[in-house]
Amino acid sequence: MRRTFTAEEKASVFELWKNGTGFSEIANILGSKPGTIFTM
């Protein structure tokens, strides 16, 4: 089943990414797999 993200999670991911945080680290923060972050 595909993981869905809330608007708050998406905003958080964008801010983390803008600040240079890697996809793997963002995935760990959200408790998700890195591939799901990349395809948001």
31: phi then psi, degrees, rounded to nearest 5:
70, 40
Number of domains in the chain: 1
pLDDT band (50, 70, 90) for residue 19 = very high
Q: Which domain holds residue 26?
A: 7-38
Residue 15 predicted with pLDDT over 80:
yes
Q: How far apart are CA 32 and CA 3, in angstroms?
A: 8
What is the pLDDT, as a whole number, of residue 1? 65
Q: Are 29 and 5 within 8 A, CB to CB?
A: no
Q: In terms of pLDDT, which residue wins out, 22 or 39?
A: 22
How many CB atoms are located within 10 Å of the residue 6 CB?
A: 8
In a domain, 1, yes or no: no
Q: Quick one: angle between helices 7-18 and 23-30, nearest 10? A: 150
pLDDT at 4: 82
Would you say residue 31 lies in a domain? yes
Evaluate whether residue 2 is within a structural domain.
no
